[in-house]
Amino acid sequence: MIPLAVFGDPIEHSLSPRIHQLFAQQSGVEVDYRRILAPEASFAQQLADFFAKGGQGANITLPHKVRVLELMDKVSARAAIAGAANTLFLKDGVVVCDNTDGEGLVRDLTRLRGPLNGSHVLIMGAGGATRGVIQPLLEAGVSKLSIGNRTLAKAQQLVTDFDKKALQLATPEQSMRPDILINATASGHSGLAPVLPADWFTGHPFCYDLSYGKAAEPFHQLAAEKSCEMTDGLGMLVAQGAASFTIWTQVEVDFVAALTSLQGDL
């Protein structure tokens, strides 16, 4: 049994134990994957105790994804670029922070749309979620990546920070015509869809929400009003889990099969 856990606060609704149980069944690799409720004040100590007692790997979720970088000695290149980590693993006895969220998004969009080469992706939102997926999308061959946000200065800051030719600011006045329109705002958690210019929907972009379940419903409704196809981020969640599972066990798993089982359960 490989001891694994997910740390967060709140944690009781995390689907990760179920997802990793599906990967374990699929691969025959036995894992003991637990939920650990970790309030801010005790998170660092709980994490240290977990690895001291033989923990082999962990997922990190809200609100610790950014802070965990300061607590660990080693940070992978992609976690450093994202400014956040969702996966911890052991290498030569040292805990390494990594980030599989962007890889999860790319895997799921590829499942839904085929290779992303040459596509124009527009992301609405300029917080941590967006920061984490910019580099993986560019590496997947996206030819244009536009970033919009309610507070435009924050989107401009991301464009400036990454300094990549394919990256541009999406202002409400510009005609955008994206192939894929991603909602990476936190608005769904307040029951709202982000306010978006009607023009951005005229080419009927494929719409994708990084949230899943109830939080994705407002954007789903908006996409339906604009006659656009829409998918929530459950596939991304399962795909980032698959990437983490492989890091911990060196075994490849089929995230689509696990996603299908999970959708049957929900």
Chain residues in the site for ligand ATR (CB under 6 A): 125-129, 149-151, 154, 185-187, 190, 192, 194
Q: Closest separation between CB of residue 188 and ligand ATR, Å?
A: 9
Nearer residue to ligand ATR within complex by CB, 55 or 235: 235
Least CB distance to ligand ATR at residue 210 (A): 8
Task: Tell whether residue 83 is among the known ligand binding residues.
Answer: no
Question: Judged by CB, which is closer to ligand ATR: 150, or 204?
Answer: 150
Q: Residue 226 annotated as binding? A: no
Is residue 128 marked as binding? Answer: yes
Q: How far is the CB of 127 from ligand ATR (least distance, A)?
A: 2
Please say which residue, 133 or 239, places its beta carbon nearer to ligand ATR.
133
HEC letters along the chain: CEEEEEEECCCCCCCHHHHHHHHHHHHCCCEEEEEEECCHHHHHHHHHHHHHCCCCEEEECCCCCCCHHHHCCEECHHHHHHCCCCEEEEECCEEEEECCHHHHHHHHHHHHHCCCCCCEEEEECCCHHHHHHHHHHHHCCCCEEEEECCCHHHHHHHHHHHCCCCEEECCCCCCCCCCEEEECCCHHHHCCCCCCCHHHHCCCCEEEECCCHHHHHHHHHHHHHCCCCEECCHHHHHHHHHHHHHHHHCCCCCHHHHHHHHHHHC
Please tell me whether 16 is known to bind a ligand: yes
Which residue's CB comes closest to ligand ATR? 127
Q: Which CB, 10 or 127, lies closer to ligand ATR? A: 127
Q: Looking at the annotation, which residues are catalytic? A: 65
Binding site membership for shikimate: which residues?
Answer: 14-16, 61, 86, 101, 212, 240
Binding site membership for NADP(+): which residues?
Answer: 125-129, 149-154, 210, 233
